């Protein structure tokens, strides 16, 4: 999969980074923790600039957050909880999860969006309570950008400053990615089992 990510970025450049990061918000097993260091490393080969990598990754991540924001906005809290109670186990969510996210969002306000962009696993999910709490779209994008650009910059700089040492890790990249995906699947299944036991 590492080769696929690299080939995608090489084939369509910054647009590839944008699309991969947008997809990462919808398909979590494709993690930003893997995409952005690779893109940052590719900037050392002068194919891209570090600024361009960070900008395209940040904008892609913002674009990927919008579907979840609109989902929360369209459904509203009550309809979303009803949907989650019927189908949430496949999303590894339960109605109390929605309540907890909403309570935390209510306490922290708009900065919750910015802070959550720095936390793996919940970066995307905070978009849902932002949507059903009718957070202004401009503010949502502004606070999302503030948190996202910090996270994306960190990941891209890791790959960039590892530089040539990154290429020595190349043979291990697929193995590392499969471990990450395997762990994500394990946690997903474990979460489904816990939700089923609570029913």
Instruction: Say whether pLDDT at 29 is over 70.
Output: no
pLDDT for residue 27: 67
Q: Which two tokens stand for residue 29?
A: 């097993």
Average pLDDT, the chain: 82
Q: Looking at residues 153-159, what average pLDDT do you find? A: 91
C-beta of residue 17 within 8 angstroms of C-beta of residue 57? yes
Domain boundary assignment for the chain? 2-84+92-198
| Dihedral sign from CA coordinates of 153, 9, 145, 50 | positive
Share of residues in the chain with pLDDT > 90 (%): 29
pLDDT for residue 167: 61
Task: Identify the band that residue 166 occupies on the pLDDT scale cut at 50, 70 and 90.
Answer: low
159/43 Cα distance (integer angstroms): 9
What are all long-range contacts of 45-51, with beta carbons under 8 Å and residues at least 24 apart?
47/10, 48/13, 48/14, 50/156, 50/157, 50/160
Tens digits of per-residue pLDDT, 102-155? Answer: 887 888 888 888 988 888 767 778 888 899 888 999 999 999 999 999 999 999
DSSP state of 188: H
| Dihedral sign from CA coordinates of 178, 126, 25, 73 | positive
Within the chain, residue ranges assigned H as helices are 2-12, 14-26, 32-43, 50-91, 95-108, 111-116, 127-132, 137-162, 164-168, 170-198
Which range is least confidently modeled, 22-26, 27-31, 104-108, 179-183? Answer: 27-31
All residues at 6 or more sequence positions from 163 whose CB lies less than 8 Å from its CB, including other chains: 41, 44
């Amino acid at each position: 999969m590492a080769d696929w990510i690299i080939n995608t970025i090489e084939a369509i450049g910054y647009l590839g980074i944008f699309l991969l990061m947008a997809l990462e918000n919808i398909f979590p097993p494709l993690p930003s923790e893997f995409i952005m260091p690779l893109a940052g490393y590719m900037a050392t080969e002068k194919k891209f600039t570090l600024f361009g990598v960070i900008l395209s990754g940040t904008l892609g991540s913002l674009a990927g957050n919008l579907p979840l924001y609109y989902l929360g906005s369209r459904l509203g809290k009550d309809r979303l909880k009803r949907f989650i109670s019927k189908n949430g186990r496949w999303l590894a969510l339960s109605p109390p999860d929605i309540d907890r996210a909403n309570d935390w969002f209510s306490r922290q306000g708009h900065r919750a969006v910015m802070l959550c962009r720095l936390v793996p696993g919940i970066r995307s999910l905070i978009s849902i309570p932002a949507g059903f709490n009718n957070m202004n779209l401009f503010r949502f994008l502004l606070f999302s950008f503030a948190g996202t650009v910090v996270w994306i910059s960190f990941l891209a700089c890791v790959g960039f400053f590892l530089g040539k040492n990154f290429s020595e890790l190349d043979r291990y990249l697929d193995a590392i990615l499969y471990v990450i995906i395997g762990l994500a699947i394990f946690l997903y299944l474990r979460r489904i089992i816990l939700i089923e036991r609570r029913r």
